[in-house]
Amino acid sequence: MDKITSEKFPSALVKVRRAAQITLPREIRQAAHLEEGDYLEAEVTDSGILLRPVSIGSREPTPQQEAEILSVVN
């Protein structure tokens, strides 16, 4: 298995803004095939923070799905 290095994938400096929001630069979004409305799972690891795209079925969650996602996130 290839070791993941920053040479293979784009990296960028991002700033945590008001309400703890961050903006992922275009190059990162394109490399990860992210679009508006996609969800990311955030996990704290020994190396830092890992953001991983997750599929929840459709781009627009039902109110029940959204409540379930938010209950896990909060």
pLDDT in tens, 16-66: 999 999 999 999 999 999 999 899 999 999 999 999 998 876 567 778 888
pLDDT at 43: 94
**CATH number for domain 18-73, candidates 1.10.760, 2.40.128, 2.10.260, 1.10.3470:** 2.10.260
Q: Give the strand pairing for 48-54 and 39-45.
A: antiparallel
Name the residue type at position 47: S
pLDDT at 27: 93
Cα distance between residue 56 and residue 21, in whole Å: 21
Closest CA to 52 of 25, 71, 69, 33: 33
